[in-house]
Amino acid sequence: MIKSFLLGIVSVLGLLMLITFMLPSDYKVEAEVTIEATPKEVFPHINTLRLWESWAFAEMDSSQLASIQYKGIEEGVGSLLTWDQGEQGNGRLEIVTSIPYEKVEVVMSINDGSFVNQGTFILTPSEEGTKLLWEEKGDFGFNLLARGYALLSDFDENMKAQYTEALKLLKNEVEQKKESEQ
């Protein structure tokens, strides 16, 4: 009886691992906003990592923000920020491509490179101002727990919601700055 019970548990766990292994390891998340400003007015807010605190990191509390250190140059390629929150993890975010008023690409590495993703911001002029697309691509690799978590937590949709909120904050910031300068 005990052998049958243990065999059943092992079989179920094996099946779950097999199913999880068959899940896609890569993901892509996109969020978009239109900002009533020119790409020239929007670009510095993306190309300068220190300015991300007010929109991309707005959900972080003061202790999380306190762990951020800025390194490298102030803006553009080579601009880097790192964080270390002890048991919660560490990471780095670096601008790797910067095409003025068109595109910024970043690479984020979490927990000493155990998880790496690429983010791209594309600025497109439009009649209303600037369309800003935030795209993130990543790969969970062979981490079966991360794959399972992504499926069960609706990872893509949750990340899209977070990015959409961050872009709304950026939109408000840029538009208010533009309005105050007029």
Domain 25-181 adopts which CATH fold? Alpha-D-Glucose-1,6-Bisphosphate; Chain A, domain 4 (3.30.530)
Q: Any idea what the Cα angle at residue 146 is, between residues 145 and 152, rounded to 5°?
A: 90
The structural domains of the chain, with segments of one domain joined by +, span 25-181
Residue 134: pLDDT band with limits 50, 70, 90: very high
Report, as an integer, the average pLDDT of 132-144. 81
Residue 143: pLDDT band with limits 50, 70, 90: low
Cα 178 to Cα 156: distance, rounded to the nearest angstrom: 32
What would the pLDDT profile of 23-71 be if each residue is shown by its tens digit?
566 778 999 999 999 999 999 999 999 999 889 887 776 666 668 899 9
pLDDT of 140 > 80? The answer is: no
pLDDT of 165 > 70? The answer is: yes
Q: Which two tokens stand for residue 163?
A: 């990015």
pLDDT of 20 > 60? The answer is: no
pLDDT of 167 > 90? The answer is: yes
Average pLDDT, the chain: 85
pLDDT of 154 > 90? The answer is: no
pLDDT of 135 > 70? The answer is: yes
Residues 6+ apart with CB under 8 A from 118: 105, 106, 107, 108, 136, 137, 138
Residues 6+ apart with CB under 8 A from 44: 51, 75
Q: Report the pLDDT value the prediction gives residue 86, as an integer from 0 to 100.
A: 75
pLDDT of 174 > 60? The answer is: yes
Report, as an integer, the average pLDDT of 9-15. 66
Global confidence as pTM = 0.82
pLDDT of 158 > 60? The answer is: yes
Q: Report the pLDDT value the prediction gives residue 155, as an integer from 0 to 100.
A: 73
